[in-house]
Amino acid sequence: MAHEHFQHVDTWVFDLDNTLYHPRVRLFDQIDVKMTDFVMRVTGADRAESDRLRRDYWLTYGTTLAGLMAHHAVDPVPYLVEVHDIDFSVLEPDPELRDAILALKGRRIVYTNGSAPYARRVLEARGLEGLFEAVYGVEDAGYRPKPQAEAFETVFGLAGLDPSRAAMFEDDLRNLKVPHALGMRTVLVGPEAETPDPEAHAHVHHRTDDLAGFLRGL
Protein backbone atom coordinates (compact mmCIF):
# COMPACT_ATOMS: atom_id res chain seq x y z
CA MET A 1 0.00 0.00 0.00
CA ALA A 2 1.08 3.59 -0.67
CA HIS A 3 0.62 4.56 2.99
CA GLU A 4 3.90 3.04 4.12
CA HIS A 5 5.90 4.96 1.49
CA PHE A 6 4.85 8.39 2.77
CA GLN A 7 5.44 8.08 6.52
CA HIS A 8 8.65 10.12 6.25
CA VAL A 9 7.05 12.97 4.27
CA ASP A 10 6.65 16.31 6.02
CA THR A 11 6.34 18.57 2.93
CA TRP A 12 3.70 18.03 0.25
CA VAL A 13 4.23 19.82 -3.08
CA PHE A 14 1.37 20.03 -5.56
CA ASP A 15 1.33 21.16 -9.16
CA LEU A 16 -1.80 23.14 -10.04
CA ASP A 17 -3.25 22.71 -13.53
CA ASN A 18 -4.79 19.31 -14.23
CA THR A 19 -3.57 18.20 -10.80
CA LEU A 20 -5.67 20.10 -8.26
CA TYR A 21 -8.57 19.97 -10.69
CA HIS A 22 -9.46 17.23 -13.18
CA PRO A 23 -8.47 17.83 -16.82
CA ARG A 24 -12.03 17.03 -17.92
CA VAL A 25 -13.05 20.59 -16.97
CA ARG A 26 -10.71 21.77 -19.75
CA LEU A 27 -9.75 24.99 -17.99
CA PHE A 28 -6.40 25.07 -19.73
CA ASP A 29 -8.08 25.06 -23.14
CA GLN A 30 -8.88 28.73 -22.51
CA ILE A 31 -5.23 29.47 -21.75
CA ASP A 32 -4.11 27.62 -24.88
CA VAL A 33 -6.30 29.92 -26.98
CA LYS A 34 -4.92 33.01 -25.25
CA MET A 35 -1.35 31.81 -25.75
CA THR A 36 -1.93 31.13 -29.44
CA ASP A 37 -3.42 34.62 -29.82
CA PHE A 38 -0.31 36.07 -28.16
CA VAL A 39 2.02 34.08 -30.44
CA MET A 40 0.09 35.28 -33.49
CA ARG A 41 0.49 38.90 -32.43
CA VAL A 42 4.21 38.56 -31.64
CA THR A 43 5.23 36.53 -34.68
CA GLY A 44 2.72 37.62 -37.32
CA ALA A 45 2.11 33.96 -38.15
CA ASP A 46 -1.34 32.58 -38.90
CA ARG A 47 -3.32 30.67 -36.27
CA ALA A 48 -2.24 27.19 -37.39
CA GLU A 49 1.45 28.08 -37.35
CA SER A 50 1.11 29.98 -34.09
CA ASP A 51 -0.64 27.04 -32.48
CA ARG A 52 2.20 24.78 -33.65
CA LEU A 53 4.78 27.19 -32.21
CA ARG A 54 2.89 27.36 -28.93
CA ARG A 55 3.06 23.61 -28.53
CA ASP A 56 6.62 23.29 -29.83
CA TYR A 57 7.85 25.88 -27.35
CA TRP A 58 6.07 24.03 -24.56
CA LEU A 59 7.62 20.72 -25.57
CA THR A 60 11.11 22.19 -26.01
CA TYR A 61 11.34 24.65 -23.14
CA GLY A 62 8.74 23.53 -20.59
CA THR A 63 6.44 26.50 -21.20
CA THR A 64 5.37 28.50 -24.23
CA LEU A 65 6.54 31.58 -22.33
CA ALA A 66 10.10 30.30 -22.10
CA GLY A 67 10.19 29.83 -25.88
CA LEU A 68 8.76 33.29 -26.47
CA MET A 69 11.36 34.80 -24.14
CA ALA A 70 14.18 32.88 -25.85
CA HIS A 71 13.18 33.64 -29.43
CA HIS A 72 11.15 36.85 -29.29
CA ALA A 73 12.35 38.70 -26.15
CA VAL A 74 8.81 38.71 -24.75
CA ASP A 75 8.24 40.49 -21.42
CA PRO A 76 6.82 37.75 -19.15
CA VAL A 77 4.81 40.03 -16.87
CA PRO A 78 2.09 41.25 -19.29
CA TYR A 79 2.10 37.84 -20.98
CA LEU A 80 1.20 36.06 -17.74
CA VAL A 81 -1.54 38.57 -16.98
CA GLU A 82 -3.05 38.23 -20.45
CA VAL A 83 -3.04 34.45 -20.84
CA HIS A 84 -4.45 33.86 -17.34
CA ASP A 85 -7.37 36.28 -17.83
CA ILE A 86 -9.92 33.49 -18.22
CA ASP A 87 -13.31 32.28 -16.98
CA PHE A 88 -12.90 30.32 -13.73
CA SER A 89 -16.59 29.44 -13.44
CA VAL A 90 -15.94 25.99 -14.97
CA LEU A 91 -14.23 25.06 -11.68
CA GLU A 92 -16.25 23.86 -8.73
CA PRO A 93 -15.37 23.55 -5.04
CA ASP A 94 -14.15 20.09 -4.07
CA PRO A 95 -14.78 19.50 -0.36
CA GLU A 96 -13.48 15.93 -0.55
CA LEU A 97 -10.14 17.08 -1.93
CA ARG A 98 -10.01 19.90 0.59
CA ASP A 99 -10.51 17.50 3.48
CA ALA A 100 -7.91 15.08 2.09
CA ILE A 101 -5.28 17.82 1.73
CA LEU A 102 -6.12 19.29 5.12
CA ALA A 103 -5.53 15.89 6.74
CA LEU A 104 -1.93 15.73 5.50
CA LYS A 105 0.56 16.24 8.30
CA GLY A 106 3.26 18.78 7.59
CA ARG A 107 3.70 21.66 5.16
CA ARG A 108 1.61 21.98 2.00
CA ILE A 109 2.88 23.93 -1.03
CA VAL A 110 1.66 24.68 -4.56
CA TYR A 111 4.25 25.05 -7.31
CA THR A 112 3.03 25.84 -10.83
CA ASN A 113 4.45 26.91 -14.17
CA GLY A 114 1.61 29.44 -14.24
CA SER A 115 1.69 32.62 -12.20
CA ALA A 116 1.09 32.70 -8.46
CA PRO A 117 -1.89 35.14 -8.74
CA TYR A 118 -3.51 32.80 -11.25
CA ALA A 119 -2.88 29.83 -8.96
CA ARG A 120 -4.59 31.59 -6.07
CA ARG A 121 -7.68 32.21 -8.21
CA VAL A 122 -7.82 28.51 -9.13
CA LEU A 123 -7.46 27.52 -5.47
CA GLU A 124 -10.26 29.90 -4.51
CA ALA A 125 -12.56 28.53 -7.20
CA ARG A 126 -11.82 24.98 -6.02
CA GLY A 127 -12.46 25.84 -2.37
CA LEU A 128 -8.82 25.08 -1.54
CA GLU A 129 -7.76 28.52 -0.36
CA GLY A 130 -6.05 28.69 3.02
CA LEU A 131 -4.68 25.14 2.83
CA PHE A 132 -1.20 25.95 1.60
CA GLU A 133 1.75 27.53 3.36
CA ALA A 134 3.00 29.00 0.08
CA VAL A 135 2.06 29.28 -3.59
CA TYR A 136 4.97 29.51 -6.01
CA GLY A 137 4.61 30.49 -9.66
CA VAL A 138 7.01 30.55 -12.57
CA GLU A 139 7.96 34.11 -11.61
CA ASP A 140 9.42 32.80 -8.34
CA ALA A 141 11.85 30.68 -10.35
CA GLY A 142 13.03 33.67 -12.39
CA TYR A 143 10.64 32.58 -15.18
CA ARG A 144 12.56 29.34 -15.60
CA PRO A 145 9.93 26.60 -15.89
CA LYS A 146 9.68 23.06 -14.73
CA PRO A 147 11.19 20.66 -15.78
CA GLN A 148 14.45 22.65 -15.60
CA ALA A 149 16.53 21.62 -12.62
CA GLU A 150 17.36 25.26 -11.86
CA ALA A 151 13.66 26.03 -11.49
CA PHE A 152 13.15 23.32 -8.89
CA GLU A 153 16.34 24.28 -7.06
CA THR A 154 15.22 27.92 -6.86
CA VAL A 155 11.71 27.23 -5.63
CA PHE A 156 12.72 24.46 -3.24
CA GLY A 157 15.41 26.76 -1.89
CA LEU A 158 12.83 29.48 -1.29
CA ALA A 159 10.61 26.93 0.44
CA GLY A 160 13.49 25.57 2.51
CA LEU A 161 12.31 22.03 1.97
CA ASP A 162 14.32 18.83 2.33
CA PRO A 163 13.62 16.75 -0.82
CA SER A 164 14.32 13.52 1.05
CA ARG A 165 11.29 14.31 3.24
CA ALA A 166 8.99 15.66 0.52
CA ALA A 167 6.49 14.39 -2.06
CA MET A 168 5.61 15.88 -5.45
CA PHE A 169 2.24 15.52 -7.20
CA GLU A 170 2.24 16.33 -10.95
CA ASP A 171 0.23 15.66 -14.09
CA ASP A 172 3.21 16.25 -16.43
CA LEU A 173 5.44 13.18 -16.50
CA ARG A 174 8.63 15.06 -17.35
CA ASN A 175 8.19 17.38 -14.36
CA LEU A 176 8.77 14.48 -11.97
CA LYS A 177 12.25 13.56 -13.21
CA VAL A 178 14.13 16.17 -11.17
CA PRO A 179 12.07 15.66 -7.99
CA HIS A 180 12.73 11.92 -8.26
CA ALA A 181 16.45 12.53 -8.73
CA LEU A 182 16.45 14.80 -5.68
CA GLY A 183 14.97 12.03 -3.56
CA MET A 184 11.32 13.09 -3.43
CA ARG A 185 8.40 10.68 -3.48
CA THR A 186 6.73 11.20 -6.86
CA VAL A 187 3.07 10.82 -7.82
CA LEU A 188 1.75 11.13 -11.38
CA VAL A 189 -1.81 12.47 -11.34
CA GLY A 190 -4.35 12.22 -14.14
CA PRO A 191 -6.00 9.90 -16.67
CA GLU A 192 -2.73 9.00 -18.41
CA ALA A 193 -1.39 7.78 -15.08
CA GLU A 194 -3.51 4.66 -15.46
CA THR A 195 -1.74 3.38 -18.59
CA PRO A 196 1.97 3.88 -17.97
CA ASP A 197 4.90 2.90 -20.15
CA PRO A 198 7.21 1.28 -17.54
CA GLU A 199 10.41 2.67 -19.06
CA ALA A 200 9.07 6.20 -19.46
CA HIS A 201 7.69 6.12 -15.94
CA ALA A 202 10.86 4.97 -14.21
CA HIS A 203 10.93 8.18 -12.16
CA VAL A 204 7.32 7.78 -10.99
CA HIS A 205 6.70 6.02 -7.70
CA HIS A 206 2.89 6.16 -7.72
CA ARG A 207 0.07 6.90 -10.18
CA THR A 208 -3.51 7.96 -9.60
CA ASP A 209 -6.51 9.36 -11.44
CA ASP A 210 -8.21 10.13 -8.11
CA LEU A 211 -6.10 12.54 -6.09
CA ALA A 212 -8.55 12.87 -3.19
CA GLY A 213 -8.87 9.10 -2.91
CA PHE A 214 -5.12 8.61 -3.08
CA LEU A 215 -4.51 11.19 -0.34
CA ARG A 216 -7.18 9.64 1.89
CA GLY A 217 -5.25 6.38 1.65
CA LEU A 218 -2.19 8.06 3.13
Is the model's pLDDT at 129 over the cut of 60? Answer: yes
Contacts with 47 (C-beta within 8 Å, 6 or more apart), sequence order = 36, 40
Whether 198 has a pLDDT exceeding 80, the answer reads no
Which domains are delineated in the chain?
2-21+91-216 (3.40.50.1000), 27-83 (1.10.150.450)
Over pLDDT 70: what percentage of the chain? Answer: 95
pLDDT at 67: 97
Angle at 215 (CA atoms; ends 194, 112), nearest 5 degrees: 75
**Separation of CA 56 from chain center:** 18
**26 Rama sector, left if φ>0, alpha if ψ -120 to 50, beta otherwise:** left
Query: What is residue 14's three-state secondary structure?
Result: strand
Q: What is the pTM of this model?
A: 0.95
In what helix (H) or strand (E) does residue 10 lie, and over which residues does it extend? none
* pLDDT at residue 197 in the model: 62
131 exposure class (CB count in 10 Å sphere: 0-12, 13-18, 19+): middle
Q: What is the pLDDT of residues 55-65, one digit of tens each?
A: 999 999 999 99
78-102 tens-digit pLDDT: 999 999 999 999 999 999 999 999 9
CA 119 to chain centre: 9
Cα–Cα distance between 186 and 114 in angstroms, integer?
20
Q: What is the pLDDT of residue 194?
A: 52
d(CA 113, CA 139): 8
